[in-house]
Amino acid sequence: MQGKMIARAKELLQNGTVNRVIGWKAGDFAYDITPAVFSSAEELDAGFVYNDFCGANFSKYLVKESRKEGKILVFLKPCDTYSFNQLTKEHRIIRDNIYVVGVPCDGKTDGETLKLKGITGITGIKTEGDSFVVDTLYGEKTIAKADALPERCLSCKSKKHVAYDELLGEDGEVCESNRFDMVEKLEAMSSEERFAFWRGELSRCIRCNACRNVCPACTCERCVFDNDNSGIAQKAAADSFEENMFHIIRAFHVAGRCTDCGECSRVCPQNIPLHLLNRKFIKDINEFYGEFQAGEDTETRAPLNIFDTEDVEPSIVYEKGGN
Amino acid sequence: MQVNEKEFKPTIVAFCCNWCSYAGADLAGTNRLNYPADVKIIRVPCSCRVNPMFILRAFQRGADGVIMCGCHPGDCHYTTGNYYARRRMTLLFSMLDYLGIERERTRVEWVSAAEGAKFAATMNEFVETVTKLGENKRLEDLRCKEK
């Protein structure tokens, strides 16, 4: 796939369709692959990679990139195309300045996860059926995908590209996903247990803002949290209110627009399962206002931008199960 | 007479829409209806003005319960504001509950300008509920505490 992508990118650069390419570039180690912009065939040959470590979603980079001179080529995985559609819908990106090539994805792992499973000294990775074969300094190791994939990929919502100019490889289908299992499990707990669970998770937050910065739905030029008086800028993990407030508001600001791409959890240096907050909003919206998948198309309006006179009352929260 | 200092008096913040519940509170007053003085009313131009952050800020600054009052659905002064507010608050309250914060501490009530009695009854009931729950511990900000 990597060879095909480089070849196609070179063609498009040469025939003048695009003047640069946003893709994944090899880092110092095999697993620290970073997003980069390439503007020549030589650069592509030197650094472009596409393998099982390429988790980054490029949609957000297009907010700035599509405002620059000339057209840009972007490679998007199926779940990235949902974010792309959402940004198109919100007029955050200039669609005419972007050439989208859809690439297939079978789940992306990362160095951290493999390290936790005892695989270190990683020098390369490839997929063989339902397993990853990892090249390490200590020889070849095989690990089942079920053990090595993050939750966002294990409960993949769709392998279908919803926006593209052309596709490389086969397009998939929307998956039967069990993504709300953990949310349901939490809902069934008592409120003390839930409080303890979230304290355990959120108290690790160091307010690095990585979740906000990476989120393709968070594209405000000026963020509410950049305000000095917002009261969330205390880096010391000293106060539970700050953590609760930051995470409630962060998730609330993307409610109805979050496509559940899972980038927030991927980048969290403290491994907080942030996607569980977003999924709660998605689940509630599905339950209260009808099934809705953000980014599925570029037409429908977000659930919080519309209303129905017969909507449920907020008191439904007290009537729900659990306690 | 001995004043019992241990007795817990909750602080309640009520966001009231200028066009209905705020007038409803006035009516409760002119009708000499009793409701606890623990309820601090903040007037807003429409229930839709209430940002989720306001609710959290109220808890941060010492509220033990937060209630939002607006016009009955369909009666919004600005036609549709309360419908949007309803969706937002439903999701926010559900999220607070999900994080383990007692769900009884937050409430939305629709109170018109003619419903002084309903306003008083709602506030009495809400204060009673929150008094039973006790002090807000799960969403408190220690830096904002006086003691």
Residue B106, in any domain of the structure: yes
Determine the pLDDT at residue A263: 92
Q: How many domains is chain B partitioned into structurally?
A: 1
Determine the pLDDT at residue A229: 77
pLDDT tier, B147 (very low <50, low <70, confident <90, very high otherwise): low
Determine the pLDDT at residue A102: 93
Contact between A317 and B90 using a beta-carbon 8 Å cutoff: yes
Mean of all residue pLDDT scores within chain A: 89
- Contact (Cβ atoms closer than 8 angstroms) between residue A217 and residue A86: yes
Average pLDDT value for residue range B11-16 = 95
* A21 CB-near residues (< 8 Å, 6+ apart): A9, A12, A13, A37, A38, A39, A44, A48, A72, A73, A74, A75
Radius of gyration of chain B from its Cα atoms, rounded to whole angstroms: 15
Residue B65, in any domain of the structure: yes
Determine the pLDDT at residue B144: 79
Q: C-alpha angle with apex B27: B25 to B32, nearest 5 degrees?
A: 100
pLDDT tier, A113 (very low <50, low <70, confident <90, very high otherwise): confident
Contact between B90 and A186 using a beta-carbon 8 Å cutoff: no
Lowest mean pLDDT among A176-180, A303-307, B82-86: A176-180
Average pLDDT value for residue range A19-43 = 91
CA A289 – CA B84 distance, rounded (Å): 12
- Contact (Cβ atoms closer than 8 angstroms) between residue A189 and residue A197: yes
Average pLDDT value for residue range A146-162 = 89
Contact between B100 and A192 using a beta-carbon 8 Å cutoff: yes
* Model confidence at A41: pLDDT above 60: yes
A179-191 pLDDT per residue, tens = 899 999 999 999 8
Determine the pLDDT at residue A237: 59
Nearest to A87 by CA among A66, A108, A56: A66
pLDDT tier, B8 (very low <50, low <70, confident <90, very high otherwise): confident
Q: Tell me the nearest-neighbour CA distance from B34 into chain A, angstroms.
A: 25
| Partner residue opposite B91 with nearest CB, options A224, A284, A307 | A284
* A43 CB-near residues (< 8 Å, 6+ apart): none
* A2 CB-near residues (< 8 Å, 6+ apart): A48, A49, A50, A51
CATH number of the domain encompassing residue B49: 3.40.50
Instruction: Quote the distance between the C-alpha of residue B88 and its chain's center.
Output: 15
Residue B3, in any domain of the structure: no
Instruction: Quote the distance between the C-alpha of residue A264 and its chain's center.
Output: 6
Percent of chain A with pLDDT over 90: 54
Residue B87, in any domain of the structure: yes
pTM: 0.91
Would an 8 Å CB–CB cutoff place A241 in contact with chain B?
yes
Chain B hits for A185, CB-CB cut-off 8 Å, are none
* A291 CB-near residues (< 8 Å, 6+ apart): none
* Model confidence at B52: pLDDT above 70: yes
Contact between A194 and B98 using a beta-carbon 8 Å cutoff: yes
CA A101 – CA A10 distance, rounded (Å): 13
Lowest mean pLDDT among A229-238, A274-283, A305-314, B9-18: A229-238
**String of DSSP letters for A219-275:** --SS-GGGSGGGS----STT-HHHHHHHHHHHHHHTTTT-----HHHHH-TT---TH
| Partner residue opposite A312 with nearest CB, options B56, B90, B138 | B90
Residue B5, in any domain of the structure: no
Domain span including residue B63: 12-137
pLDDT tier, B70 (very low <50, low <70, confident <90, very high otherwise): very high
Residue B145, in any domain of the structure: no
For residue A72, give the DSSP letter: E
A53-67 pLDDT per residue, tens = 998 999 999 999 999
Residue B68, in any domain of the structure: yes
- Contact (Cβ atoms closer than 8 angstroms) between residue A80 and residue A58: yes
Q: How many CB pairs under 8 A join A and B?
A: 114
Residue B86, in any domain of the structure: yes
Average pLDDT value for residue range B20-27 = 94
* Model confidence at A214: pLDDT above 90: yes
Average pLDDT value for residue range A109-134 = 88
